[in-house]
Structure 1
């Protein structure tokens, strides 16, 4: 997305040798290069591996073919594609400040980056809607969250970000009024999306603040309802008060922990990047490039954490992971195994 290119004029190396107009290359120490590659490669491997386990589990085991899990399957597909199509090339660009993959792929990469990150956030928003009905309206959950409803959720989650990302980049609305600035920093090996003031705000609202606010609002409501239900459960005859109270306290504690992790990780990962996206045009694009890249990768990490948050909290995920890891998935009729059974 948006990035400033503040080059150090000393000891310049260039992205392409013997090419006039090539971009300066970022000079880093061996220790810095090693650390960055280890962190970013680790994130890429975990993102692809973790989400691939979710994809295989839900696709393979028939017991997991439910409306809710189809939403998780689509989220995992989105995050896997981000790890496969976007993060490896962003890694090279972030470390070297160079784009080696051509102008066409730069456009495709930029569109995919915006689309998949936004799609992932939209999925998280709709998962919060699913959790709302599961916790707050459990009697109506089966009738409300059906396969057709999930199809609508998925259609919105994919189509709106796709139209937004490709429409914005290909129309170049984001550079309206700042063409001279973009021309002044452009060079051979440059690939970064620059937002003007208007689209810095609008893009952040569409991709993060609106779905994020909906998501956080729903989870706060879920937590409030869960606490009220726990308190009502406490109002029981004295004979059974002690055991019931233990159960209610346990449920309330688990709900608080789960929701705090969901909201905390989501906000921690994406808020800094989108605040920067809004503010950078208003401070004349003076954000240090490494700071921008740090916030961008923090956002990517949300796709790394998603299979942990939305996978490891489910007991079936641990069972399915064990079956895959031990090779039992290749046995006949493994798709009919009971992944909800305790082991």
Structure 2
């Protein structure tokens, strides 16, 4: 009797611990999902730099994810706490329809974003002209319409009758339909077809990005080599001299130097002859005056030669320095460009890996169980884990699609500063420089 009582107490404590920990995690996830997607929507509409046509896809995705947290997650949290569905059959039907509709809308919006990026990278010039507000809204409308077509059939009786355990009055449970036809239809429409489309698009985008990255790297190396070679002949394209011009300049400087020397010698000779003609009777003072005048003339000549030589050296040093600065600026810009290309490729990989990890466990279980008679249910805890792993994708979407964007990061920083009361009149203004 004591052993049974101890086991019952242990199971109760374990159950309380499980319900408490999972409920706290679910509530935290729902709050983060709501706040993150509100930030995204507010950032786009509050900042002029972000109110561009491609970001309408991000807004549509954020709205779908936010509605998942507002209309779907709370009922799951309530069921996790109470252990039963307490809202009745009608609300159960509405909740299941909303669950399928909003999760499918989130996934199809991801698919539309992938399609938009595919067209943008494969035909950037023509697609930039075709990417109008009307076209973007049409694509968004199609994604939401398809989501409705996938979620509505149970309302009209397909896969929604009591025999398929959508709502069980006895145990008061509300679960998705296990009708094989509807399971196959909804699983393919909500996940497997979008997964195939996104895989195809992102693989081709990744290949195109890597190819462009290799081409850009080769072009950078060729341009760098050409600039290094040209810097030997022409260090500065604006103020430098070619080899021929520099030779002519040096020749001119030498000629000027020679002419200065000749002029100095002529001046010295003429000065000497004048002094000889006008030589006074006193011989003691004449040599001193002659030497003094000669030293003055020679000092002036040396000063002119040194000035020409020093100017030529400064000119060469300035040309070399300017050429080096141009090369450094070019290399820095190319590094930034290549870094953006690599970051874009990494973002694509993160998008696909996150999407697959979050959703494939649930949809594998959802598709396999109705068609596999020998398979056993993994348990309510595993099912809850798989369902909330799919919901986690709605939490991560605003992070993946915005945090990697500098303008969104600035907008988020501005929102946080305004909430904390640390914003000035100009801190909320951002501009995009492309």
Give the TM bin, normalised by the shorter chain. Answer: 0.7 to 0.9
In structure 1, list runs of 5 or more residues that go unmatched: 1-9, 12-25
- Listed one character per residue, the Cα deviations across residues 253-293 of structure 1 (whole Å, up to 9, x for unaligned) are 32331111000000001111111111111234831222222
Contact 1:234 1:248 in 2 (8 A): no
Q: TM-score, normalised by structure 2?
A: 0.66
Deviation at 1:329, TM superposition (A): 11
Contact 1:231 1:248 in 2 (8 A): no
Bigger radius of gyration among the two: 2
Deviation at 1:322, TM superposition (A): 1.4
1:203 aligned partner? 186
1:19 aligned partner? none
- Listed one character per residue, the Cα deviations across residues 186-239 of structure 1 (whole Å, up to 9, x for unaligned) are 425221122222222221100011112111210110010111112222333645
User: Which residue of 368, 382, 398 maps to 1:307?
Assistant: 398
CA distance in 2, matches of 1:335, 1:66: 20
Greater relative contact order structure (CA < 8 Å, 6+ sep): 1
Matched, 1:267 2:251: no
CA distance in 2, matches of 1:333, 1:149: 36
Q: TM-score, normalised by structure 1?
A: 0.83
Matched, 1:154 2:140: yes
Across the two proteins, how many residue pairs are aligned to each other? 316
1:34 aligned partner? 20
Alignment map for 1:267-286 (pairs within 5 Å): 267-284=356-373, 286=376
Contact 1:62 1:336 in 2 (8 A): no
- Listed one character per residue, the Cα deviations across residues 18-67 of structure 1 (whole Å, up to 9, x for unaligned) are xxxxxxxx995222122101211111011000000001111222332221
CA distance in 2, matches of 1:55, 1:185: 39
Change (3 A) 1:207 1:27: farther
Deviation at 1:318, TM superposition (A): 1.1
User: Which residue of 99, 114, 131 maps to 1:145?
Assistant: 131
1:218 aligned partner? 201
SS in 1 for 2:39: helix
- Structure 1: 4+ residue segments shifted above 6 A: 328-336
2:157 aligned partner? 172
- Please, what is the CA RMSD of the aligned residues? 3.0
SS in 1 for 2:402: coil
Deviation at 1:153, TM superposition (A): 1.0
CA distance in 2, matches of 1:336, 1:246: 29
Contact 1:51 1:80 in 2 (8 A): yes
Deviation at 1:118, TM superposition (A): 0.2
1:22 aligned partner? none
In terms of fraction of residues, the more helix-rich structure is 2
In structure 2, list runs of 5 or more residues that go unmatched: 1-6, 226-329
1:55 aligned partner? 41
